[in-house]
Amino acid sequence: MREVKLGFSGPMVSEVCFGSLAISPLQGRVTAAEGTEILRYALEQGISWIDTAEIYDNYDQIARALAGKPEIMVATKSYAVTRSEMRISLEKARKGLNREVLDFFLLHEQESVLTLHGHQEAWDELLEAKARGLVRYVGISTHAVAGVRAGALQPGLDVIHPILNYQGIGIIDGTLEDMLEAISFAADLGIGIYAMKVLGGGHLARDPARAFTFIRRVKGVQAMALGMSSRNEVDYNLRLLAGEEIAPALQVAVQARERRLYIADWCQGCGRCVEVCPQGALYLEEQAKVKAEACVLCGYCGRVCPHFCLKIV
Ligand code: SF4
Ligand code: SF4
């Protein structure tokens, strides 16, 4: 597994970060126990860090996979706005992950200077936690060009986790070229960058080689989070990245798996999911409907549905 340095002052990490949303209850593709096994397997193959978030609700799953592996790093994130919310988020992560010190802690889904400004209290608390040695690196995740630019100029920020893929799928406020320029700007300042949704939430899964090659060529991006929910996917992605041949049976097993957002027919049409979708992929026509081409299969809508209608299948 290729090792990379994250930004000017970040740690050495594997080029691939395990994106644990894919094994979390939020996406519900596998059971918690199956997810832990897949994660353990990925760590055995050389992946040295894991991406998660408070809303993925899988700290215990990760903690089980991390038992006896203090060298594996974890990046997590929260939507905390105030100082007290951030304190609660940090304690929840430390306790849930069974770690005294958190490796990376990010503000989740920051869209612009205004969003970051609105989270200033939480950010200040995070910087203090870092100064006290409770967190090693701090940053933001974002689906927005303006989020990357704002993060780059945020004092004390170490790392940005932006959405990036060769079609620009999921960027909420600009073009792919705009995002590449913003990432280059941040990287020139020494910020560590690890990309998310490099397969466009599954839309680019037909040609992952092209997707990975694109990410590797982007100036300033050092690593990528890959969501994987089976051993086959781990093998497939890691072999592809290592330039190894892929057995036809493995190719078929992984590529045959199409994913989509399933909306149950008992949807009440309340509209809560429509309001939270960061991609604008949902709309109401009495019941919730999805524009499949806009959906990046993040699963964020599923957590707000009071009737458990939404699932990635
Ligand atoms: S519809 Fe749901 S899964 Fe798709 S992008 Fe929106 S929030 Fe994410
Ligand atoms: S939140 Fe659930 S019930 Fe409400 S519109 Fe969305 S899918 Fe339907």
Residue 283 Cβ < 6 Å to ligand 2: no
Kindly report, residue by residue over 205-256, the tens digit of the pLDDT. Answer: 778 999 999 999 999 999 999 999 999 999 999 999 999 999 999 988 887 7
Pocket test for ligand 2, best of 287, 300, 312 (most atoms within 8 A of CB): 287
CATH number belonging to domain 3-255:
3.20.20.100
pLDDT for 192 equals: 98
pLDDT for 232 equals: 94
pLDDT for 130 equals: 98
pLDDT for 247 equals: 92
Is residue 26 over pLDDT 90?
no
Measure 295 CA to ligand 1 centroid, in angstroms.
Answer: 5
Indicate the domain borders of the chain. 3-255, 261-312
Kindly report, residue by residue over 67-118, the tens digit of the pLDDT. Answer: 999 999 999 999 999 999 999 999 999 999 999 999 999 999 999 999 999 9
Residue 290 Cβ < 6 Å to ligand 2: no
Give the confidence band of 306 by pLDDT, cuts at 50, 70, 90: confident
| pLDDT, average across residues 1-17 | 96
| pLDDT, average across residues 266-275 | 94
Residue ID of nearest Cα to ligand 1 atom 2: 301
How far apart are the C-alpha atoms of 127 and 80, rounded to whole Å? 13
Q: Higher pLDDT residue, 168 or 181?
A: 181
Ligand 1 binding site (Cβ under 6 Å of any ligand atom)? 261, 277, 279, 281-282, 290, 295-301
Tell me the pLDDT of the chain averaged across its residues: 93
CATH number belonging to domain 261-312:
3.30.70.20
Kindly report, residue by residue over 156-166, the tens digit of the pLDDT. Answer: 999 999 999 99
